[in-house]
């Protein structure tokens, strides 16, 4: 595939400056990256999730002698109040991503996320028949004690998931059976980070 043909599958305009070893997009400060806007409306609603409930559940679970296999997740059903719940092993989807693609916290407070971004992940997970998904942007507690527990065991959220959904906004290859989507993913920023490598290694299915 010629570069002129393949470049349209990458989102950022400076793609022509990138190489397999370097991506200009990755030099940006991802902690300042605004959350991705995925709907057509210019005024997207901001969800205010009850992170205090999430913190409490993590702390209570940590106090048990043998924490159950699974994860505290958020629901795919948005017709009811959005509250976290415990999903046993293989009953939820884990999201793997990098903040530079706009799926991190950005400059918002923890638990604040664009409704269209949440809905997008919820739709994908629900489409595969799952009622919950784990996404670190809204699954890392605010409470210091709860946060320490979560970070120590974060890799287990991928191990216990039914599968891991990789979100790579900069790689927009159409799905084909010729291997090009896999090549695009390998050349993407997602494939260059240590934590995503761990998430990949721990996942049962991607």
pLDDT at res. 93: 98
CA distance 71 to 157: 6
CA distance 62 to 59: 5
Helix H or strand E segment including 56: helix 51-62
**Residues 6 or more apart in contact with residue 23 via CB below 8 angstroms:** 170, 189, 192
pLDDT at res. 5: 45
Residue spans per domain, the chain:
40-202
Q: How many CB atoms lie under 10 A from the CB of residue 159?
A: 17
Q: Mean pLDDT for each 10-residue chunk of the chain (206 residues)?
A: 41 58 58 73 85 92 87 97 97 90 74 92 96 95 87 92 85 70 75 82 89
pLDDT at res. 21: 62
Q: Which residue has the tokens 């979560």?
A: 150
Prediction pTM value: 0.80
DSSP string computed for 97-165: --GGGTTS-TTSPTTEEEHHHHHHHHHHHHHTT-SEEE-HHHHS-SSHHHHHHHHHTHHHHHHSSSEEE
């Amino acid at each position: 595939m010629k570069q002129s043909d393949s470049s349209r599958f990458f989102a950022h305009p400076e793609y022509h400056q990138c190489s397999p070893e370097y991506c200009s997009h990755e030099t940006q400060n991802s902690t300042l990256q605004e959350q991705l806007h995925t709907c057509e409306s210019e005024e997207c609603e901001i969800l205010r999730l009850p992170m205090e409930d999430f913190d409490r559940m993590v702390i209570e679970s940590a106090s048990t002698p043998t924490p159950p296999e699974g994860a505290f997740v958020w629901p795919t059903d948005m017709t009811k109040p959005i509250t976290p719940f415990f999903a046993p092993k293989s009953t939820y989807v884990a999201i793997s991503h990098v903040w530079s693609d706009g799926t991190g916290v950005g400059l918002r407070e923890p638990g604040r996320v664009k409704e269209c971004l949440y809905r997008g992940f919820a739709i994908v997970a629900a489409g595969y028949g799952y009622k919950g998904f784990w996404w670190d942007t809204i699954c890392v507690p605010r409470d210091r004690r709860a946060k320490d527990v979560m970070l120590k065991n974060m890799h287990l959220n991928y191990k216990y998931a039914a599968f891991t959904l990789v979100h790579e906004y900069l790689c927009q290859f159409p799905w084909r059976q010729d291997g090009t989507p896999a090549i695009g993913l390998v050349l993407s920023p997602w494939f260059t980070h240590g934590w995503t490598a761990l998430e990949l290694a721990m996942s049962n299915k991607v």
